[in-house]
Amino acid sequence: MEIKIMKNILYCNNKLAQENRELLGEKGIVSINILASPGAGKTSLILRIIEALRDKIPMAVVEGDIAGSIDAEKIDKLGVPVVQINTGGGCHLDANMFKEAINSLNPPEGCLIFIENVGNLVCPASFDLGESGRLVIASTAEGSDKPVKYPQAFQTADAIVLNKIDLIRHIEFDRDFFYKGITAVSKAPVFEVSCATHEGLIELLTWIEDFYKSKRVKND
Ligand SMILES: Nc1nc2c(ncn2[C@@H]2O[C@H](COP(=O)(O)OP(=O)(O)OP(=O)(O)O)[C@@H](O)[C@H]2O)c(=O)[nH]1
Ligand SMILES: [Mg+2]
């Protein structure tokens, strides 16, 4: 019996991701793919960023969830263009889903797109969407071992956020162990923030503005 070998799924994804990257680059659009576990604070962080930077940078959001549109509705309330992708069980977004989201959003030239990936620190790390960069969030409530257990996500990050810093005094969190896990795989800057109290957000917002400017310059 002849066995047909399917084309490598990541090869096809990467090809499409490159097309997305070129399309967005031509329009001077910068995109940030946000990876984190369920509940780490992806939507909360996007909301804080929109509130702080909306007068400076045109923004749009792609929301990835297995089901429902709860997060997209929160973004919509702030009047920012948003599109919801339901993966129907899929544990990550892929380049084709992002392409469809871009077509549906029709984002204005020069905007900054935030992509909230499906809550998961495993599969999203392997799927390039054609984004300009990645932000990986861990939260104190999840424990300090996430970088050691899920190194690939942290390895691919352009910046890392430790969220829910307001809770750190109520739980056991080994900061040294957390940073050891990160430095083993990444040189990305780490920002300790609280989306609840706004602590530490200014430094992260500055990084986002600088990242946006640097990627736009490259595209011009
Ligand atoms: N105390 C505290 N709570 C936070 C903080 N950030 C987010 N939360 C809460 O954590 C919960 C989850 O936050 P979300 O922003 O919905 O998390 P998410 O990563 O988008 O979750 P999914 O989309 O379900 O994967 C919500 O109840 C938030 O209010 C924080 O810095 N401190
Ligand atoms: Mg969310």
pTM of the predicted structure, to 2 decimals: 0.95
- How many domains are there within the chain? 1
Residues in the chain: 220
Specify if 125 maps to a domain.
Answer: yes
- For the chain, state the CA radius of gyration: 17
40 lines ligand 1 (CB under 6 A): yes
Specify if 4 maps to a domain.
Answer: no
d(CA 110, CA 99): 17
Nearest ligand 1 atom, CA 137: 19
Give the model confidence (pLDDT) of 99-144 as tens digits.
Answer: 999 999 999 999 999 999 999 999 999 999 999 999 999 999 999 9
Cβ atoms of 105 and 141 closer than 8 Å: no
> What is the extent of the structural domain holding 51?
9-213
Provide the CATH number for the domain around residue 123.
3.40.50.300
Specify if 220 maps to a domain.
Answer: no
Give the containing element (helix H, strand E) for 151: helix 151-155
pLDDT less than 50: residues of the chain: none
Give the model confidence (pLDDT) of 140-162 as tens digits.
Answer: 999 999 999 999 999 999 999 99
38 lines ligand 1 (CB under 6 A): yes
Q: What is the dihedral of CA 136, 60, 90, 130, to 10 degrees?
A: -70
Backbone angles phi, psi at 160, to 5 degrees: -120, 140
Largest CA distance in the chain: 63
What local confidence, expressed as pLDDT, does residue 10 receive? Answer: 87
107 lines ligand 1 (CB under 6 A): no
What local confidence, expressed as pLDDT, does residue 5 receive? Answer: 60
Instruction: Catalogue the long-range contacts made by 174-177 (C-beta closer than 8 Å, 24 or more residues apart).
Output: 174/144, 175/144, 177/144, 177/145, 177/148
Specify if 145 maps to a domain.
Answer: yes
Query: What separation in Å is there between the alpha carbon of 131 and the centre of ligand 1?
Result: 23
Specify if 117 maps to a domain.
Answer: yes
141 lines ligand 1 (CB under 6 A): no
Q: Which two tokens stand for residue 2?
A: 């002849």
